[in-house]
Chains A and B, each alone.
Chain A
Amino acid sequence: MEGVHKLLEMQGITKVFPGVRALDSVDFELLAGEVHVLLGENGAGKSTLMKVLAGAYEPEAGKIFIDGQKVNIQGPSHAQELGIGIVYQEFNLVPYLNVAENVFIEHFPRTRLGFIDHETMHRAANELLCSLGMQVDTHALITQLSTAQQQMVEVAKALKHKSRILILDEPTSSLTEREIEQLFATIRELKRKGLGIIYISHRMQELWEIGDRVTVLRDGKYIGTRSLKETTPDELVTMMVGREVSFLFKRDFQTPGEEVLRLEGVSSTVHRLKDIHLTLHRGEIVGLAGLVGSGRTELARTIFGLEPVSEGKIYLFGREIHHSSPSLMVQRGVALLPEDRKNQGLALILSVAENLVMASLERLFPRKYIQKQKEKQIVAQYIKNLRIVTPNQSRQVQFLSGGNQQKVVLGKWLCTEADIFIFDEPTRGIDVNAKAEIHEFMNELVKKGAAILMISSELPEVLGMSDRIYVMRERKIVAELTHQEASQEVVIRYATAADHANQSVGCV
């Protein structure tokens, strides 16, 4: 692109952590007015590279140029001063401070006496948010906002120093379709104003909608940069993975067996679920599709007994369940693999062995006494079958790599020899190779007679893997589709939420 201003250039950036080379001589550049996508699998180095730019990390080697001038970024505040704003995937917002306070958290406007100038602060915050097309009461506490609104507060926070470079780290992972549209509209507006936007993402479907160019990283190394108009998904995936990968999901469909789970008219006041009807049979994978916030995880939690049912009945293997609880469910052969596998699935300071048997204590040791030999054998078996990499059984799980930690969580539930598995986003945050492995695995499970209820936000996955699909919207089930009936358009049509008016305070 001739004549367009080069906002940012990063040359030969290397970042080393104890034991791992996170970035190895990576180059990156950004032009004014472009959306430059940073693509790569987990661990490829995208977030690390951006953290270097945002001043959170200091690189071991490499140079950074802004507007052609070499800069030495001293820390997050310095980066902000240089015009670099970043919105992390996990928001850095304070729940019980209001919007304006959050936006100006490290730089409060002051009165002459040194106290906080509330008027100026709220006015400035309002202006920033309005320029982003957002109408929010700046006196509202963060806890009172929706995820999308919180994200806008983060963007405002990132832009308050008249930033020229905005980094968005996986911005759409928790948004509804409509909110994504709003975000894209904001991004286009910022482009028009000449900002350069670095967009980190995993999700191929959006790239062509919003991006101009894309840079691929793999294992901390720079692989290449392409213009999105001149490349294809397959080429990008090949760059990301280093080999050819097929997109097809292998699934051996078979006739479902007996009914194992049935929900009739189930409602939950605490989760605002309404009148859920659902069945699940042996040998089938039932997909639960819907937008973020439609209630899928809440439904899973209610089935598993974490929160009570206020109306309706749940039948497990034909028997009605009163007063369900996780202990009861586990006893009866139900397993729930949560979305946040690390924090909800593992006790990090306990050993691999202790985590693996955690859900099976009653089953393996009915007389309460732990037979060490038996435990050792069983743990060894699962370590071998799942190829968990660990020097020994008593290693604390916190020292395992992310991928191996996931395997321990899976192993824990396999060890329960459950008949019903509820997977909540089984392949989220997992790289492409491992994804295929997990799908194969799920296939094997149901072939052996288990039943799987799979919550997923990735339509291709849901469509490829499920015998049947329930679509949820606003805490209700709005459709039940067979494998043949389902398609992206049909599912999205059912899943799309009705409009809600936003809270508004006048935009001046």
Chain B
Amino acid sequence: MATTEHAAAAAGSNGRLRPEVVIHGLEPEPKGWLAWLTTTDHKRIGIMYFVATFIFFILGGVEALIMRLQLAQPSGTLVSPETYNGLVSMHGTTMIFLFIVPVMAAFGNYFVPLMIGARDMAFPRLNALSFWLLVCGGIAFYASLFFEPPQAGWTSYTPLSDDAYLPGSGIDAWIFLIHLTGLSSLVGAINFVATIHNMRAPGMSWGRMPLFVWSILVYSYLLIAALPTIAAAVTMLLTDRHFGTAFFDPTGGGDPMLWQHLFWFFGHPEVYIMILPAFGIISEILPVFSRKPIFGYKAIAAATVAIAFLGLLVWAHHMFTTPTSTVVLIFFMLSSFAIAVPTGIKIFNWIATLWKGSIVFKTPLYFAAALPALFVIGGISGVMLAVFPVDWQLHDTYFVVAHLHYVLFGGSVFGIFAGLYYWFPKMTGRMMSEGLGKLSFWVMFVGFNLTFLVQHSAGLSGMPRRIYDYDADLGVTDYNLISTIGSFMLGIGVLITVINVLRSYRNGKVAGNDPWQGNTLEWFVQSPPPVNNFDVVPRVRSVEPMKDIRREVAKAGEPVGSVAQPVASGT
């Protein structure tokens, strides 16, 4: 590959920006693994993000299955209480910091430049740094398996996480994970913001930007707003543990509640960081497969921004049972209620998008349509939890476990799988197997509901979360057995998709440039896209530029297959 520079700033004498490509000279292209190690290409970084995050997804899933095995029957003896607390902590931390948040960056990395008609991210090297920081964070964290994993949950509440109670280095590994993945996300977020603000195709005004790009933009701003708080908090925890400070230590004049405020000031926006891009993904998929424009584009984009803003104001609804005055509880109940309005708007707009469509039932649509169906359950239970007197009963029980999995698995992960099935042909040039895809969907869908629906009832019967054992006379034995069976179904469903990916990567049907009749610019380029993405960046005239291009081609009387740009030489 030649070293190329996008001298986008070459302003002509008339002051208009004129993109130019300047070649300084030819360097031999690194081959094999070195090419991947040194790459700054957003698509290769995106692929590496996908591979890394899915490995962590599998690891986190295995941790969950061990926990479910332990809980299948009362008085389980599979793991010790310490190991169980370790599994709780690693599962939560892995899924949040090493899977859902970075996999959204994977989608963003690969598809934001393609969707906005850019040739790469604004800062390709920062982009590589972002990925390698994530890998370092994952390694630093999983290295704790060789000494002692953290045992304070993904929330690491003080004083439990202080050195007096958990002197092992697991908590320190967790702290470094937060710092490294936090930096990774922060650098990535700045990169997304710079890219989206500055590198959109000619004609792509804010009102014509794909909704997925909107969601990544908001995701990035939320990360920038929330991450510094947690970075400060874990640094304070680190000095509490090792350098004799007492920020959170009540015996030294500190305050354990401070940790909870700082943690959740980050932690709740983090939930929207994880869910908004999934909303963005299905806002792309639903219109394509119902052959209809998205219903209420402006409403969905505005709702995304509103959710993000309100998401910064609801953190203490995680703290309804702490010693806090009633007026504060009321404020956070009302702010949490308020966030249900824009979320509801989104769901109604998605249904309206399907309404009077001509819905093509391909695998991406299955996963995309399942998202609102499952998320609405998590949304409704979220409103129930926001009513703080009710929360006093439900807080920290399996009801909350069920709620958060309906939001983060039923919402985020089904969205991620929808995106994977939708964009796999673009990334690899090959189609995934529809049969395996639909099988995977149904096994996952049934397994997911078996696992988590009954957990509502377990929580209502008084089963707290994060316990390695429960009494037979608590009346939750059946729920737990059903949940365990469901979790293994869910695992098999995920495994079928993994097999599908591995098989289709080599043997899938050749996809062509635009297998789904997509609406956005990534379908304009070849599959997989060439290194420079676009030889010619098309002018964008609507929110569905590919539809316009198809229409023009049809008008010119050319076959529909010739829509995408011609194959660039040398790729």
Is chain B a partner of chain A in the same complex?
Answer: no
Q: Which residues of B contact A (CB under 8 A)?
A: none
Q: Which residues of A contact B (CB under 8 A)?
A: none
